[in-house]
Amino acid sequence: MPDTPAPDWPGARLHIVTGKGGTGKTTVAAALAITLAYGGRRTLLLEVEGRQGIAQLFDCPPLPYRETRVATAPGGGEVQALAVDDEAALLDYLDMFYNLRRAGRALRKMGAIDFATAIAPGLRDVLLTGKVKEATTRTAGGKRVYDAVVLDAPPTGRITKFLNVTAEVSGLAKVGPIKTQSDGVMAVLRSSQTAVHIVTLLEEMPVQETIDAITELTATGIPVGAVFVNAARASLLSPADQNRAMAGRLGVSRVATGLKLAGLDAKVLAKRLTAEAVEHAQRVGVQDESRERIGELELPTYELPLLPGPIDLADLFELADILRKGGVA
């Protein structure tokens, strides 16, 4: 058995990662999938928005509708990835419940699938979440195929509607396979198998959207797991200079003196560096205020640093190591 500390969400196997656009939820989802694969585990990383964000992060060709290995974790674990699309999910649905995969292919050629999901938008989410549920509960030889499933989910503004499929299909079907499938999905989503994690930045709007999403998810009975604070900036100022800058008392003269001692042109740089220091201090101050608001949520919180440049595979493993050391898995 993998030698790992107890997670903050005992029993959770489906990890749904959401967040306001621009917070880096796909990056965090990928890092989490690697973390959960440490020690010989097998994880599946899913995306449902058609952006091929996972392929870009792992520097691989666009993902087909087939589970594909994208990374090997320390200890012999592996990360498989899958880009789920509604057409392929509908073919799976028709095959699973009606043995009509060939008919589904014919319908796709006719454009009937686009028509069906257009007139019944809730059906699309039922199909996508149904595939997520199937992967989470899939077994082979009496054992789970995946130790954990990580879903790079839609953003917080749409996450509750996306997950609350029972409400979405209530106007489509009262009985039958669609109703059965949606009920099965909700049974998993509302169970201890599931944890919804929210990615945020230490900024006012993402934090507020995080708070709103937690309220909505809790009201629907879907369990919230943790808050992942992404791209946190470390303060470059001492606590004393941070306070001075926030109070407008940093002083150009003090900066100029330091520049002169370093043999630099104080006339050119002093005012500019002082302005940048004040701006930096204000940003750090906003971070501290946001961190306090997140602390009031009383949820497990993990903080990831701001990394320079575009995120690559090495960065994902660095973030995964931080999460691992923080006790995520």
Q: 32 and 140 share a domain?
A: yes
- Taking CA atoms, 163 is separated from 156, 182, 216, in Å, by 11, 10, 11
Q: 212 and 248 share a domain?
A: no
Report yes or no on 319 lying in a domain.
Answer: yes
How confident is the model at residue 6, as a pLDDT?
46
Q: Which domain holds residue 246?
A: 235-297
- Residue 21, pLDDT above cutoff 60: yes
Residue 90 sits in a domain whose CATH number is 3.40.50.300
Q: 270 and 186 share a domain?
A: no
**Overall average pLDDT of the 277-303 stretch:** 90
- Residue 1, pLDDT above cutoff 70: no
Mean of all residue pLDDT scores within the chain: 85
**Residue 256 — very low, low, confident or very high, per pLDDT cuts 50/70/90?**
confident
Report yes or no on 7 lying in a domain.
Answer: no
Q: 249 and 316 share a domain?
A: no
How confident is the model at residue 238, as a pLDDT?
79
- Residue 3, pLDDT above cutoff 50: no
- Residue 107, pLDDT above cutoff 70: no
Q: 18 and 110 share a domain?
A: yes
- Whether 28 and 302 have beta carbons less than 8 Å apart is answered as no
Q: 202 and 247 share a domain?
A: no
Q: Give the Cα separation of 26 and 42 in Å (integer).
A: 19
- Residue 257, pLDDT above cutoff 90: no
Over residues 157-171, the pLDDT tens digits come to 999 999 987 666 655
* DSSP 3-state of 49: coil
Number of independent structural domains in the chain: 2
Q: Identify which of 28, 309, 39, 302 has the alpha carbon closest to the alpha carbon of residue 147.
A: 39
Report yes or no on 6 lying in a domain.
Answer: no
